[in-house]
Amino acid sequence: MTSIRDIPYQDIKIFLVANDKSFKDKDDAYDKILKLLKDKNSKDHTTRIIEWMIAHNLLVNKINIPYFTSDQIDNMTQNEINKLAKLLTMNGNNVINIKNILRFLHKLNEENITLLPEINDIILNRLYEVEKIDKDINFIIKTGSSQDILNLLKTHHNKRIIRELILENIALISENIN
């Protein structure tokens, strides 16, 4: 079960101040936000509060959400991301929002992440850039047959890189296939 206290206190303060609600301390702020969230006239919900509300509504409505790892989500196709966002009742399909909602639901396994999220993102982005310039992959994309490219799409662990490289080199690929 997700707790209102899972929302960062800074977001709670912003929301209460925007709605002209005073509070004595942290406990009082968390108590007041529950009532305010039910008020249809409340305004200036932060992104984290909206993510928490989505997670809370999923739990209340007993929607069965499977467990995921960060790696699984990072390696999903756009179609899979869209389906997951729809399951989470999201209007958009932002991966960061999806992960945050899953965190609130306690359905995101991040055992492999032991660093601060900011540092982890920097490392993952750097690894992504290094993988993207892999000479073997680029060679196959630029000179390989259509079957070689399809095999990359089937077997490479990071489908997103392959899709991006195909899009970047589509003109060259179409010349090679012809």
The residues spanned by each domain of the chain are 4-109, 117-177
> How open is the CA angle 24-28-30, to the nearest 5 degrees?
135
SS3 label, residue 159: helix
What whole-number distance in Å separates Cα of residue 12 and Cα of residue 49?
Answer: 8
From residue 53, alpha-carbon distances to 30, 42, 61, 146 in Å are: 14, 13, 12, 46
What whole-number distance in Å separates Cα of residue 12 and Cα of residue 29?
Answer: 7
pLDDT at 128: 67
What whole-number distance in Å separates Cα of residue 91 and Cα of residue 89?
Answer: 7
What whole-number distance in Å separates Cα of residue 163 and Cα of residue 170?
Answer: 10
Measure CA of the first residue to CA of the last residue in the chain; give whole Å. Answer: 56
pLDDT at 178: 62
Q: Which residues pair with 68 in a beta bridge?
A: 108
Low-confidence stretches of the chain (pLDDT beneath 70)? 1, 111-117, 128, 130-133, 135, 138, 157, 177-178
- The two three-digit tokens of residue 8, written as one number: 């960062």
What whole-number distance in Å separates Cα of residue 14 and Cα of residue 3?
Answer: 18
What whole-number distance in Å separates Cα of residue 107 and Cα of residue 92?
Answer: 19
pLDDT at 112: 55
pLDDT at 1: 57
Tokens 């007041």, located at residue: 32
pTM across the whole model: 0.59
Backbone angles phi, psi at 22, to 5 degrees: -90, 155
pLDDT at 117: 66
- The two three-digit tokens of residue 131, written as one number: 């993988």
